């Protein structure tokens, strides 16, 4: 069974800092990996999708990398802003089936 772990569980940084969130998964036979943002009590907003054949994806200040062989992905946030404060979740989809497996998330607080 696929297990997804995110480190750290919580992170607090001053505004303007660059930061890295980590995601690891146990089964490298993945179809893709997706990073989401979740605001308190709300649904999930898709940030970046990385296909299994890709190494990284970028969107604005966000950059996600994927090392499938080592079972790791990172989300890099440049020049953090208070509006980036949220919980960030990664999810992997296996090659077989349609289920997504979610990590436990990293709660990010950006201090003005």
Partner 1 sequence: SAVISQKPSRDICQRGTSLTIQCQVDSQVTMMFWYRQQPGQSLTLIATANQGSEATYESGFVIDKFPISRPNLTFSTLTVSNMSPEDSSIYLCSVAHRGEAFFGQGTRLTVV
Q: What number of chain residues touch partner 1 (CB under 8 A)? A: 22
* CA distances to 24, 85, 94, 108 from 111, in Å: 27, 9, 36, 10
Tokens of 71: 């079972």
Listed in order, strand segments (DSSP E) in 39-85 are: 44-51, 56-59, 62-67, 72-77
30: which 2 tokens? Answer: 């993945």
CA 41 to chain centre: 19
Q: Give the nearer residue to partner 1 in terms of CB position, either 3 or 15.
A: 3
- From 18-26, 41-49, 53-61, 73-81, span contacting partner 1 (CB under 8 A): 41-49
66 vs 89 by CB, closer to partner 1: 89
Q: Per rule CB under 8 A, is residue 60 in the interface with partner 1?
A: no
The rounded distance, in Å, linking the Cα atoms of 3 and 94 is 11
What is the token pair recorded at 69?
């062989």
**Shortest Cβ 31–partner 1 spacing (Å):** 7
Check residue 104 for interaction with partner 1 (CB under 8 A). Answer: yes
At closest approach, how far in Å is the CB of 18 from partner 1?
25
The answer to the question of residue 44 lying near partner 1 (CB under 8 A) is: yes
Residues engaged in binding partner 1 (CB under 8 A): 31-32, 34, 36, 41-46, 49, 51, 89, 91, 93, 98-100, 102-105
């Amino acid at each position: 069974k696929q297990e997804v772990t995110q480190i750290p569980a919580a992170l607090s940084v001053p505004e303007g800092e660059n930061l890295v969130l980590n995601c690891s998964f146990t089964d490298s036979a993945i179809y893709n990996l997706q990073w989401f943002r979740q605001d308190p009590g709300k649904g999930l907003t898709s940030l970046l999708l990385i296909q299994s054949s890709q190494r990284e994806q970028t969107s604005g200040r966000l950059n996600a990398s994927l090392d499938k062989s080592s079972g790791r992905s990172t989300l890099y946030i440049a020049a953090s802003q208070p509006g980036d404060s949220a919980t960030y979740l990664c999810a992997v989809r296996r090659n077989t089936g349609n289920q997504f497996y979610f990590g436990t998330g990293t709660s990010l607080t950006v201090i003005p």
